[in-house]
Structures are given as structure tokens and as C-alpha cells.
Amino acid sequence: MGEQGDGPRRGEPGRRPTRVERDGTPRRELAHWLRATLTELGEPTLDTILARFPDDVRLSRSALAKALRGETFPDLPLVRAVLRAAGADDDEVESWSVYWAHLHVLETRRRTGEAVTATPPPWAAEATPEPPAPAPVAPAPVPVPAPSRRRVPVALVAVVSLLVGAGLALATVALTTWSGPREPAAATILDPVTTTVPKTFRMGGNYNGLPDGTLLWATTFDFGTGRFFPQDKPCVTRADETFDCGQYYLGRQFDPDTARYRIDLFFADAGASNALLQYQIDKGGPDGPNPGMAQLPAGTTIIGTRTYTRS
């Protein structure tokens, strides 16, 4: 499944994983750019990364090596732990969290048999090198200081890339394809059909008008506490304007079976999606305490709702 090579075994103490062969799949694209980031951070070995992991993160060397070879798609807490262990700053980690969410949606689609092609992260655009300046004609040229090796913050590169890309896309639409006001975003839950449901069920439906650069999420609103309990990952959206939120858990474990809840469907921009993923990390994942959110983060817009009663 992984690439073969004639060099030393990958994942040995002190060894670094071999180069990742990109094939357009989300797991290989994630591994390639994660390796590129680690190279910028000094290319620490597997043992160095594992030794710097926080106490609450447990991972074998072989599992880490497989993730860095693109043989598995790692969870977000693992990616963040690897980056922090390698010395990444907060901006880099947060930018990677948003990129991971994008690749995770594509990986989920790929596992259902859909053909997907992953794209590089926003900060991966390579700048065209400028031609060398002509030598100064002067008897005593002023020495030119060596270029700084300080890396541009990943978040800044990501923001600039996104703004440039958005500007070009908007210009193209305005000049060639604009045909009137955009259809307002909306989403409808079609499955389950009944409004009385068990604690867990599979949820899906259709949507339209989802703004570019946003992800579709679902959250439970608890009338009793007045708080939102977002799902642990975005819903999968397809080209035919259907969505699948996977296995949905309505309410909390010990809530009464007669409790009523409202499920809200909403889209979230990159910043809001990152805040929702961070909430899942802070609460310890699906099995951690779930205090809920007093309000959804800025950058979210509710586009569909439906009320359910647990049976």
C-alpha cells in the first residue's frame, strides 16, 4: 500500500519517513504537505516527534509513520500534536486545522466510492523567483545583507492566497457567468422522515446555494438548556446537492427519551469551522464532556431546521 524503497526501513528510531508519492487522494495530499511543513520546521525524526507528544496523546511509531506516508488518514488531534511537537506556531496549527477539515470531507466522499481530487493548501503557492539584480557599477558597492531565513507566517500566506483566489473567482463570475442574484442557501433534512426518532440515526437530505469556501454542519439545539451541541465533524456534501451527516446522536446520553430537540443545519466559513473543530478537541472528542455552546461561532448561518422527539 505504501511506496517501496531500497533505503532503510521507514519508522526506525532516528529515521525519517521516505518521500510521499502524490496521487491526488486526500490522505496522500495531507501526508505530502504535512511532510513539507515538517521539513520547514527542521525535519524532526519520528522519535523526536513522539518524544514531544503531550502525555494525553498515545501513538505508536508505526502508526505515525503510516500517517506520514499517506497510508492512513489521521485524526485532527494527531495532526495538531505532530505540528506542535515539531515546533509549529499557533497560526500554522490553526491554518492546518482548516485544511484538515477540507481534506476530511474529501476523504469521506472517497470512502463512499466518489472520485475526488485533493488540492494543495492555500499557503502552498510557490512564488516565482525574481531575476537577479544587475551588479552595481560603483567603486565601493554597499554589501547586500543575506536574506532573512524567517518564515512568513502560514496564516498570512493562507489569508493572502484565499483573498487573491476569491478576487479572481469573483471577477470571472462577474464578467462571464453572472446571470442574476445568487439563490439563497437552504438545506432540508429528508432522512429520517418521521419526527420521532431513536437516540442515534443516520441523517441526510439536500441543499442548495452553499457559499464557496464554506462547510455544511449540523447541531442539536437543546430547548432545556438553551445551548447548541454541534456534530463532531462537517456533513458530507455532494455534487448532486445532497448531503450526509453520518450517524447522528440526538441529545445527551442520560436525557429523557421524551425530550424535544431542534436540529439546525448551517454553513460555516473557515474561521467558524476551525472554532467548531477546536470545541471538539477541547471537550475531548465524542466521548468527552459535552457542555454545549451558548451560541454558534461568528461566520455561521443557519439555513434549515427541524424539530425531533427522542423515542
* Least confident among 113-122, 165-174, 207-216, 295-304: 165-174
The CA distance from 76 to 106, in Å, is 14
The CA distance from 56 to 116, in Å, is 34
User: What pLDDT was estimated at residue 141?
Assistant: 55
Write out pLDDT tens, residues 20-45.
Answer: 888 889 999 999 998 888 888 888 88
User: What pLDDT was estimated at residue 234?
Assistant: 92
Residues 6, 52, 285: CA angle, nearest 5 degrees = 100
Write out pLDDT tens, residues 229-251.
Answer: 998 889 999 888 899 998 888 87
The CA distance from 234 to 107, in Å, is 12
Q: Is the pLDDT of residue 193 over 50?
A: yes
Please, what sign has the CA dihedral across residues 279, 301, 118, 92? negative
Mean pLDDT value of segment 187-205:
88
User: Are the beta carbons of 285 and 249 closer than 8 angstroms?
Assistant: no
Question: Which residues are bridge partners to 193 per DSSP?
Answer: none
56 vs 126 pLDDT, higher one: 56
User: What pLDDT was estimated at residue 12?
Assistant: 39
Mean pLDDT rounded to a whole number for the chain = 76
User: What pLDDT was estimated at residue 102?
Assistant: 85
Write out pLDDT tens, residues 150-163.
Answer: 444 444 444 434 44
Count of other CB atoms within 10 angstroms of residue 238: 14
Phi/psi of residue 7, each to 5°?
Answer: -80, -170
Residue 164 — pLDDT band, cuts 50, 70, 90? very low
The CA distance from 298 to 311, in Å, is 33
Q: Is the pLDDT of residue 201 over 80?
A: yes
Residue 303 — pLDDT band, cuts 50, 70, 90? very high
Write out pLDDT tens, residues 75-107.
Answer: 887 888 888 888 889 888 888 888 888 898 888
49 vs 181 pLDDT, higher one: 49
The CA distance from 1 to 251, in Å, is 40
User: What pLDDT was estimated at residue 160?
Assistant: 39
187 vs 65 pLDDT, higher one: 187
User: What pLDDT was estimated at residue 203?
Assistant: 92
35 vs 14 pLDDT, higher one: 35
User: Are the beta carbons of 243 and 193 closer than 8 angstroms?
Assistant: no
pTM of the full structure: 0.49
User: What pLDDT was estimated at residue 219?
Assistant: 94
